[in-house]
Amino acid sequence: MLNLIKTELRRIIKDKLFMVIGIIGIVFAIVTPLLMFGVSSLLDEKASQLLGMSIDAKMLFFEAFNPVSDFGLVALVLLCIILCKDFSQGTVRNKIISGKSRFSVFTSSFIASTIILCALMLIYAFATLCVSLIFFEYQSTPFTANDFGYAVVTLVFKIMTFIVISALVSFLSVFMKNAGLCMVMLLAITMLASIIGTVLSTAIIGVEDGIVKNILEILIKTNVFLSTVTGTGVTYSLSDVLCVVLSHIVLGALFYLLGVVVFKKKDIK
C-alpha cells in the first residue's frame, strides 16, 4: 500500500499539469489580495458596513480554502483530470494485472489525491495570508491565544473538508472514468450545495427561535461545501464542532465506501 501511495504521488507531482496549477496558485495568491486592497481603498468605512464587507487578512486566508472559489475550482479540476488519467492511460489495469488488490489501488489513489489537494490548498492559503499581511491587518482586534486556537481548529475543519472532497472525486472518477463528466458532476454537486447553504443562511435571519430555526442551523452547519460555516467567527460552540466533525466523517466515509464498492465491480479495460 505504501509503495502504491508513493508511486501515485510521484506520478501526480511529475505531471506537467501539476506544475501549471502550482504557477496559477502563486499568481492567484498575489493577485487576490491586491484586488481586495484596491476594492477596500475605494470604499470608505460606512460603505463597507452597508455592503457587509470587512476585509482583513483573516478573511482572505480562510476564504482561500473555499473549494468553489477561484483556486479551489482549479485544484478540483486538476484532481479530476489526474485521477481519470489512471483509467485513460491504463495505469489502473496494469496495477491490477501486477497483483495489487482493487481495494489497495483505490485506497492508495484516494490517499495520494488527498495529500496533494491538502498540500496545494494549504500552500495557497498561507501564501495568500503572507501577501495579505502586507496590505491588511490580520484582524481588527489584537491577536490572542484564543484566536490562535480558533485558527488551528478551523484549519483542521478545512482539511477535513478536503478529505471529503477527495473521497467524492475518487468515487466520481471510478464511476465516470471520464475527466469531463467527473468535473461536471463535481462542480454541480459542490456549487449546488454551496448555493443551498447560502440560501439557508439568508433565510434563517428572519426565522424566530424554535424547531424550524434549529433545523436550519443544523443543515447549515453540516454543509461541508459551505465555506462560511468555518473561519468566519471568533469561536466555536460544542454544537458547531459536533455538527462539522460528524457531517465530515459521515460524508467522507460514505463517498469512500461508495468508491470502493463501485471500483470492485467496475469492468477495467
**pLDDT at site 260:** 92
Q: Cell digits for 133?
A: 499581511
**pLDDT at site 20:** 87
- Residues spanned by the domain of 213: 2-265
Domain count of the chain?
Answer: 1
DSSP 192-240: HHHHHHHHHHHHGGGPPSSHHHHHHHHHHHT-TT-GGGSSSSS---HHH
* Mean pLDDT within 67-95: 80
Using pLDDT thresholds of 50, 70 and 90, give the confidence band for residue 243: confident
* Mean pLDDT within 142-155: 89
> pTM for this structure?
0.87
Burial 185-221 (b: 16+ CB within 10 A, else e): bbbeebeebbeebeebbeeeeeeeeeeeeeeebebbb
**pLDDT at site 46:** 52
Using pLDDT thresholds of 50, 70 and 90, give the confidence band for residue 202: confident
Using pLDDT thresholds of 50, 70 and 90, give the confidence band for residue 269: low
**pLDDT at site 50:** 46
**pLDDT at site 227:** 64
| Minimum mean pLDDT range among 125-129, 182-186, 236-240, 265-269 | 265-269
**pLDDT at site 228:** 66
What pLDDT digit, counting tens, does each position of 88-135 carry?
777 777 777 777 888 888 898 899 989 999 999 999 999 999 999 998
What pLDDT digit, counting tens, does each position of 155-195 carry?
999 999 999 999 999 999 888 877 788 888 888 888 888 88
What pLDDT digit, counting tens, does each position of 11-68 carry?
888 878 888 888 898 999 999 999 888 877 776 555 455 445 567 888 899 888 888 7
H-type helices in the chain, by residue range? Answer: 2-14, 16-42, 45-51, 57-63, 70-88, 91-97, 102-135, 145-176, 179-203, 211-221, 238-265
